Amino acid sequence: KQEVTQIPAALSVPEGENLVLNCSFTDSAIYNLQWFRQDPGKGLTSLLLIQSSQREQTSGRLNASLDKSSGRSTLYIAASQPGDSATYLCAARFNTGNQFYFGTGTSLTVIP
Amino acid sequence: KAGVTQTPRYLIKTRGQQVTLSCSPISGHRSVSWYQQTPGQGLQFLFEYFSETQRNKGNFPGRFSGRQFSNSRSEMNVSTLELGDSALYLCASSVSTDTQYFGPGTRLTVL
């Protein structure tokens, strides 16, 4: 069964700190993986998409990596800001089947 | 380009009723996926439509159905509503199997 997990469920850091969010998946036959943020009561905002042939993707202060052999992806946020406070979700699409499997998310709070 | 739009944004229904939700994808996107989000279960995949055909289906009962029109707009229908169907229903569009872009969601409350 294909599963995606995110640990920890919640994280609180002081402003300016660099941080890493983790995403694990059970099937190394991954097609692509996408990171999202969700603000309370809102839809999901796409942050980064990594194809299976890629090792990492960068956008501004965000860097996402993908390690298929270990079944892990990380989202690195540099110089965190209070506006980064949100729930971060990862979603993996595997080679078998065509749907996205979502993790349960990490709720991030950046303290001013 | 306009983003993904969902209507209505909020809906209150009673048990046993049926409901239809609508999703308009980004122009040029042919894939529309539907998800249910609840505090207890997180985001769960309902189904995906691509060029008017259901391409994938999650593990939801037959009360949940959908369709896609020739202009890629999609509707989701839930019949015989139950209390447990109360959730945020999200749709996402993509060109095919690449980046998914989500709409703001429809908040359904079943009383």
Q: Cis before residue A8, ω within 30 degrees of 0?
A: yes
| Interface mutation vs chain B, best among A23, A42, A89, A100, most B CBs within 10 Å | A100
The answer to whether the CB atoms of B97 and A97 lie below 8 A apart is no
pLDDT 10s digits, B24-63: 999 999 999 999 999 888 899 999 999 999 998 999 999 9
**What is the DSSP code string of A46-73?**
EEEEEETT-SEEEETTEEEEEETTTTEE
Band of pLDDT at residue B96, cut at 50, 70 and 90: confident
Chain B residues whose CB is inside 8 A of the A44 CB are 90, 92, 102
Segment-wise mean pLDDT, segments of 10 residues, chain A, 112 residues: 90 97 92 94 91 94 95 97 97 83 95 96
- Over residues B88-98, the mean pLDDT reads 91
The answer to whether the CB atoms of A99 and B58 lie below 8 A apart is yes
The answer to whether the CB atoms of B33 and A102 lie below 8 A apart is no
Nearest to residue A45, comparing CAs of A25, A59, A24? A59
The answer to whether the CB atoms of B100 and A46 lie below 8 A apart is yes
State the average pLDDT for chain B: 94
pLDDT of residue A108: 97
Chain A residues whose CB is inside 8 A of the B66 CB are none
